[in-house]
């Protein structure tokens, strides 16, 4: 096991722990983006070029940025006066370590893994070969997926730009009328009292 792999694994696990332990949503989203980038670096370190670049393009370049923008657009301006870490961060780390240990033990002791004497070399497949296959044999499914993603993006923009309904505006007017009705009796009472005092 190389030193670079150990460093990348440590940074990825640290960022994942921060993503589930921090209180601020923006910090959690940024830690999640670092986790995705660490996974992409691990894939590239293991010579899985296509999976690593797909991880960068899809998760780091799209999902993480979308999460950050969604948090920034929907959160309120008030900053919470609470602790940085969530109350149950110790139990969360302990449960995550336990699940990771059990999964690692199950994978290492699985009978599906080939024995050391029957290991064979992995087929060489570069990003160029995969891209050539995608653009020649699977070009139609690729275009269909692109159209679906475009339609989903247009639908999200239409929903975001939708004007508020008339019912919400009428409710706001009713609330304003109720506020004026609640304020009006106090003014009337003070006016009547002043009139009696003058008399």
- What are the pLDDT digits (tens) for 128-182? 888 888 888 888 988 898 898 888 888 877 887 765 555 445 555 555 655 555 5
Separation of alpha carbons 88 and 69, rounded Å:
27
Domains and their CATH numbers in the chain: 1-87 (1.20.120.1200), 125-199 (no CATH)
Within 8 A by CB and 6+ apart from 84, the residues are 22, 23, 24, 27
Q: Decide which of 145 and 83 is more confident.
A: 145
Separation of alpha carbons 36 and 15, rounded Å:
9
What's the pLDDT score for residue 181? 53
Compute how many other C-beta atoms are within 10 angstroms of the C-beta atom of residue 30. Answer: 19
Token pair in block for residue 97: 């370590």
Separation of alpha carbons 8 and 46, rounded Å:
12
What's the pLDDT score for residue 182? 55
Within 8 A by CB and 6+ apart from 86, the residues are 21, 22, 23, 92
Q: Decide which of 120 and 59 is more confident.
A: 59
User: Which of 18-22, 64-68, 103-107 has the highest mean predicted lDDT (pLDDT)?
Assistant: 103-107
What's the pLDDT score for residue 40? 92
Within 8 A by CB and 6+ apart from 24, the residues are 80, 84
What's the pLDDT score for residue 76? 58
Compute how many other C-beta atoms are within 10 angstroms of the C-beta atom of residue 92. Answer: 15
User: What is the band of 38 on the pLDDT scale with cuts at 50, 70, 90?
Assistant: very high
pLDDT at 74 over 70: yes
What's the pLDDT score for residue 12? 92
């Amino acid at each position: 096991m190389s030193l670079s792999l150990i460093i990348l694994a440590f940074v990825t696990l640290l960022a994942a722990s921060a993503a589930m332990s921090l209180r601020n949503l923006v910090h959690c989203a940024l830690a999640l983006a670092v986790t995705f980038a660490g996974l992409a670096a691990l894939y590239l370190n293991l010579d899985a070029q296509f999976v690593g670049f797909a991880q960068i393009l899809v998760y780091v370049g799209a999902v993480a940025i979308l999460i950050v923008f969604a948090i920034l657009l929907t959160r309120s301006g008030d900053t919470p006066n609470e602790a940085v870490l969530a109350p149950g961060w110790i139990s969360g780390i302990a449960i995550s370590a336990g699940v990771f240990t059990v999964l690692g033990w199950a994978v290492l002791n699985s009978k599906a893994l080939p024995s050391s004497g029957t290991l064979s070399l992995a087929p060489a497949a570069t990003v160029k070969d995969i891209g050539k296959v995608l653009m020649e044999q699977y070009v139609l499914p690729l275009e269909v997926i692109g159209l679906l993603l475009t339609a989903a993006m247009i639908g999200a923009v239409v929903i975001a730009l939708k004007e508020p309904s008339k019912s919400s505006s009428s409710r706001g007017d009713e609330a304003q009328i109720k506020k004026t009705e609640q304020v009006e009796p106090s003014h009337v009472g003070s006016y009547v009292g002043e009139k009696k005092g003058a008399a």
